[in-house]
Structure 1
Amino acid sequence: MPEPAPGRTRASAPGQTSARGREPLDGAREFIDELVGDRAADWDRDGLLPDDVLRALAGRGLLCAQVPAAHGGPGASSAANGAFTAYVGSRCSSLRSVMTSHGMAAWTIQRLGSAEQHAAYLPKLAGGRLAAVAFSEPEAGSDLSAIGTTIEPDGDGVVLNGQKTWTTAAHYADLIVVVGRYGSGAAAAVVPASAPGVTVERVPRPSGCRAAGHAHVRLDGVRLPASAVLGGGQPLMLLVTTALAYGRLSVAWGCAGILRACLGAAAEHARTRHQFGKPLAAHQLVGRHLANLLTAERTVTRMCEHASGCWDSGSPDMVMATVLAKQVGAVQAAQGAATAVQVLGSAAAHEGHVVERAYRDAKLMELIEGSTEICQLILADHAVSGAAV
């Protein structure tokens, strides 16, 4: 087992204090403040996150904080990791998006991998290597049952062919967890980005989360050992749902962070900007906007706390709670960011402003890890079934 990075303490169990009396994510927010500083706007304009920032976070296991201490991770609970994710999301949604994709890759390995695969991959993801997870394809977005990528046995290994699109963090990734068809079922494969036959083409100038490293990934006869295959033969939608559960909850917590950033900026502007002889905050219609922002942030946070509580307790309601948190979070973040723009007016019309970035980033949250419409269909089916959320 690799030794923890300097200054890092192993946790005795997820969500518990370590033997030295520290929480798994002690000091993580301060570390984010040090790394991000006031550079998020520049990263957004440049469309790139610095490699040293990503490697520093990955090296302390902070991109996949729920990886157990036995595999070199912080061993954080979903609740602790979620609160940290929201904090990162309030500083830089692109960085939070990389966390989500990297964390999904680690979670997929945890859920689908064998003990040998856990030992082979998880210490790498908690120790400095960067990862992404690839689902969507040109003809398989919301309808992931249309996935055409294949993972075919070939001698003592497998061969991958297919194309993935809009794979978050793939531009930075050392390893890409690729979901594809495997016999009559499905599997995921851990693919080195440097493997022969892998082509990663960065998406130019996306409208939101511009520095998250979105990329298209082409797989042309990529040969891997059989040990790279995770969960071979499982039903496709079961495999996809397993990975998406982590992503949906991470996105939801990120939406809480977006709302906090918007609320903070809008409240500060309303306190200090004067019109008609008094602060904006003293005008009732502006006050209504601030009240709505506060309500949205508190609502999304409570939804996320509930979903993480279900996750940590192993509740059978976990999957539906994550869908609900993602749906509420994404819708409220998009509406809340628009509200913040309304409060700030032209002050938020500058590229890179925290609210201007939030306005663009929040809209993407309604599209990824299950669009608003897909989440609504899942929730509607749940309502019709008569089951309690």
Structure 2
Amino acid sequence: MKNLLTPEQQDQRTQFKTFADDVVAPLAATVDSAQSMPREIIAKLGAAGYLASMVPRGPGKPVLGAMAYGFLNEELGRTCQSVRNLVACADMVAHSIYRWGSAAHRDEWLGRIASGDAVAAFGLTEPRVGSDAKSVQTTANRVGSEIILQGRKRWISFGQNADVFIVFAKYEGSHTAFLVDRHSVGLSVQPISDLFGLRGSMLGEVVLDGCRVPVDGLLGRPGTGLSFVASSALDVGRYSTAWGAVGLAQACLDASCRYADERVQFDVPIKGHQLVQRMLANMATDTVAARMLCYRAGVSREAGDPDAVNQTLMAKYFSSTVVGRIANDAVQIHGAQGISSQAPVQRHLRDAKVLEIIEGTTQIHQSILGQYAVVAGRS
């Protein structure tokens, strides 16, 4: 991979790796077991410039390009998927505010999200609405100078501690996005705990019971909620998840290689057993292949290629699928050690499964990419 990168990109990868190893890795197990995200990590991410890093934030604060952003998410994903998810949520919301929000929205929230002072959440999913995002049941009605929101949003990452939400609702019969302050009258959050994976993502069910939002809280124009705001934000989330899956695959491979070298059975290290070698070979190959698909997506995004959305979908689909197999083999190689609550690989396996669900399920990606393959094959 190094020979494909510029010296600047190599330096960025080293910088991100150092941060992940020094700041994130020591707290990863605690984030998982405590099911919470320490404010100290959020503050350090903000101080390092790793939140809202792809939107302009003022003089002296460089914007990360698509490739650098990918490397950042790979390293965060290698050490803690919940932290990587925090960054993705912040970026999805910041991207939406920067692209579709008013000047007042940008002034109020972008700096706070970037510094870590404000946690952001993306409120699309509902109790009965997941992949079929166009069927949201939350409603928005204008009453005088306010918008009244009624409904529930479920499985919302960082819903428990978010300061600002993007909420999607039916307004005048159309899918529309709104920016909602945590302290808005009529908004409450019910914590969701004991998840299978990404346990530090502090999920919540956001209850909007006559929630009052100023009319200028509308993000974009009425009717653009799904086709513009949600679709572009989810594209950012998928790109983050794709690279994060590569990082998780690398963590599984590294742990498995170390253990296979140290663990002796039948008088030889298990790395000498052919069936273990087969698993390691598949893990290494799939990790490299996933990384190259992400690299291709990053190059397409930086070039402004219209096909970058499909390249990102392909990278997310492949990387999130193979990391499940890689994590499963990592636990198998570790044997009884792998299913211990103290073993990082069991956390990796749980997190890997979640990556096949968030930002679009594997089956949704297969459907979209199947249609894309037919069209691409004709051109």
Q: Cα–Cα, structure 1 residues 195 and 116, in superposed 2: closer, same or farther, change >3 Å?
A: closer
- Is the deviation greater in 186-195 or in 269-278? 186-195
| Alpha-carbon displacement from aligned partner over 1:311-350 (angstroms, at most 9, x marks no partner) | 1211100111111111001101111100111111111111
- Alignment-mate amino acid for residue 332 of structure 2: Q
User: What TM-score results when the alignment is normalised by the length of structure 2?
Assistant: 0.91
- Alignment-mate amino acid for residue 109 of structure 2: Y
1:34 to 17, 22, 25: 22
Q: CA RMSD in A?
A: 2.3
Equivalent in the alignment of 2:85: 97
Equivalent in the alignment of 1:226: 215
- Alignment-mate amino acid for residue 339 of structure 1: D
Q: What displacement does 1:267 show?
A: 0.3
1:183 and 2:172 are equivalent in the alignment: yes
Equivalent in the alignment of 2:148: 159
- Alignment-mate amino acid for residue 293 of structure 2: M
Q: Cα–Cα, structure 1 residues 277 and 16, in superposed 2: closer, same or farther, change >3 Å?
A: closer
Equivalent in the alignment of 2:375: 385
User: What TM-score results when the alignment is normalised by the length of structure 1?
Assistant: 0.89
- Alignment-mate amino acid for residue 70 of structure 1: G
Q: What displacement does 1:271 show?
A: 0.8
- Secondary structure of 1:199 counterpart: strand
1:125 and 2:113 are equivalent in the alignment: yes
Q: Cα–Cα, structure 1 residues 234 and 90, in superposed 2: closer, same or farther, change >3 Å?
A: same
Q: How does 1:33-52 map to 2 (within 5 A)?
A: 33-52=21-40
- Is the deviation greater in 164-173 or in 106-115? 106-115
2:258 to 261, 268, 285: 268
Which runs of no fewer than 5 residues in structure 1 stay unpaired?
A: 1-14
Q: Is the 8 A contact 2:16 2:71 kept in 1?
A: no
Q: What displacement does 1:117 show?
A: 2.9
Distance in 2, matches of 1:377 and 1:369, equals 14
Q: How does 1:213-362 map to 2 (within 5 A)?
A: 213-239=202-228, 240-362=230-352
Q: What displacement does 1:207 show?
A: 0.6
- Alignment-mate amino acid for residue 123 of structure 1: G
Q: What displacement does 1:231 show?
A: 1.3
- Secondary structure of 1:153 counterpart: strand
Equivalent in the alignment of 1:111: 99
2:189 to 178, 187, 200: 200
1:63 and 2:51 are equivalent in the alignment: yes
In the alignment of these two chains, the number of paired residues is 371
Q: What displacement does 1:23 show?
A: 7.5
Q: What displacement does 1:120 show?
A: 3.1
Distance in 1, matches of 2:13 and 2:334, equals 34
Q: Is the 8 A contact 1:24 1:76 kept in 2?
A: no
| Alpha-carbon displacement from aligned partner over 1:49-96 (angstroms, at most 9, x marks no partner) | 212221231344313221224388541011101111110111111111
Q: What displacement does 1:368 show?
A: 1.0
Determine what percentage of the aligned residue pairs are the same residue: 32
More helix by share: 2
Q: Is the 8 A contact 1:72 1:123 kept in 2?
A: no
1:80 and 2:71 are equivalent in the alignment: no
Which runs of no fewer than 5 residues in structure 2 stay unpaired?
A: 1-5
